[in-house]
Amino acid sequence: MKNIKISEAFDYYREAEIIAGGLSPKTYDNYVMSEKWAIDFFGDIMIYKITSENVRAFYLYLSGWQRPNTVRGELISLRAVLNFCGKKGYQVMDTDEIKIPKRQKIPVDYLEPDEIEMFIDAVAEKRRGYSNYNRARNVAIVKLFWVSGIRVSELCAMNRDSIKNRCFVVVGKSKNPRVCFITEEVEKLIREYLDLRTDSNPALFVTKTDKRMTPHEVRDVFRMACSRSDFERVRPHVIRRSFATNLLNKGVDIRYIAELLGHESLETTRAYTHVSNQKLQKIYDSIVV
């Protein structure tokens, strides 16, 4: 049978599966790192020399200094490359013997800014069956939540012409209108998404059948992103909480945060934030006492 080194196997896989398959640059980079770690452990040996015992030792090696989900990803990458090479006629171990541990989900009440970016990366990642149109729409949705703090029902009620000069008005639970804002980046993302539209529906966000998106359908965007990432139970409401916490951490007056969120009570806003009790108590007392 044909033979090939680990470095050659990863090169072959990246060219034939990742580049030719139109997968994301991030996926390509992940496989570059997987190759490095595999060669660091095994050496750049012929792939037929990799055995199930070697793989178990590799798993224990990685587990000593990497997070469980990172180790899981490395095993998936190695198995994918070996399985690919086996189908191409190269001699490899039985890849069914590479057991993949279950993903450890990370339940969250709110996200830090860097975690928001990681979550958006999961929404934006290219994959088969996930059109550029849906990716553009879904990224715009999550980014809009992150920079405005609006509710899912408020997002679904928005129309194409709702945003003017990077601000828009929503009517929330209190039935009182409030002004919300977006960044230039989000304005650009929404414009790029709308440029892909061919329908005449006035709704800002629509389904693949050109119907106005419902809150359930928006939440499905989040559920799908969670299923492909390390996050668990991230919903639009989590992004809203994260928006409030991020502003408070940056020193924004809690009264302004309440206004941006559409809260009539500062107690409600206080419950939305996740900073240290001591810091929050000091801010709160300076306002209400």
30-59 pLDDT, tens digit each: 999 999 999 999 999 999 999 999 999 999
- β-strands 167-171, 231-232: how paired? unpaired
CA 185 to each of CA 138, 176, 199, 215, 289: distance values in angstroms, whole numbers, following the listed order: 15, 28, 24, 24, 39
Which residues are identified as catalytic?
151, 173, 237, 240, 263, 272
Tell me if 251 is assigned to some domain.
Answer: yes
- Determine, yes or no, domain membership for 208: yes
Count of structural domains, the chain: 2
Residue 26's pLDDT is 77
Output the pLDDT for position 288: 56
Question: Considering 42, 67, 98, which residue would you say is the last residue of a domain?
Answer: 98
Same domain, 170 and 63: no
Name the domain boundary from 54, 72, 98.
98
Report the candidate in 262, 245, 251 with the shortest Cα–Cα distance to residue 286. Answer: 251
Q: Which of 194, 212, 73 has the alpha carbon at shortest distance from 140?
A: 194
Regarding whether 174 and 93 lie in a shared domain, the answer is: no
Closest Cα to residue 103, out of 230, 226, 235, 224?
230
- Quick one: pLDDT at residue 82? 96
| 125 and 59 together in one domain | no
Can you say whether the dihedral through the CA atoms of 228, 232, 235, 240 is positive or negative? Answer: negative
Report the pLDDT value the prediction gives residue 152, as an integer from 0 to 100: 95
Distance of alpha carbon 196 from alpha carbon 136, whole angstroms: 9
Q: Give CA–CA dist 275/23, Å, rounded.
A: 38
For residue 50, give the nearest of 42, 61, 59 by alpha carbon.
42
| Helices 6-13, 25-42: crossing angle, 10 deg rounding | 170
Q: Are residues 121 and 94 in the same domain?
A: no
Q: Is residue 108 part of a domain?
A: no
182 is written with which tokens? 């977006």
Q: Quickly list H helices, the chain.
A: 6-13, 25-42, 52-63, 68-87, 113-124, 132-148, 152-156, 184-195, 215-227, 236-249, 254-261, 266-272, 277-288
Residue 145 lies in a domain: yes
Integer Rg of the chain from CA: 24
pLDDT of res. 289:
46
Q: Which residues contact 118 (CB under 8 A, 6 or more apart)?
A: 229, 231
Q: 277 and 253 in one domain?
A: yes
Distance CA(26)–CA(19), nearest Å, equals: 11
| 103 within domain boundaries | no
The 10s digit of each residue's pLDDT in 144-196 is 999 999 999 999 999 999 999 999 999 877 778 999 999 999 999 999 999 99
Whether residues 248 and 277 share a domain: the answer is: yes
CB neighbours of 43 closer than 8 A, spacing ≥ 6? none
Residue 130 lies in a domain: yes
Q: Is residue 13 part of a domain?
A: yes
Q: Which domain holds residue 203?
A: 113-288
Residues 143 and 277 in one domain: yes
Residue where a domain stops, chosen among 98, 129, 156: 98
* Dihedral angle of Cα 158, 249, 273, 236, to the nearest 10 degrees: 30
The pairing of strands 231-232 and 106-107 is: parallel
Give me the residues of the chain with pLDDT under 70, please.
1, 105-108, 272, 274-289
Q: Which two tokens stand for residue 132?
A: 């550029």
> What is the reported pTM?
0.63
Residues in the chain: 289
pLDDT above 70 covers a percentage of the chain that reads 92
CATH assignment of the domain containing 142: 1.10.443.10
211 and 147 share a domain? Answer: yes
Residue 87 CB burial class (10 angstroms; 0-12, 13-18, ≥19): exposed
Predicted local confidence at residue 187, as pLDDT? 96
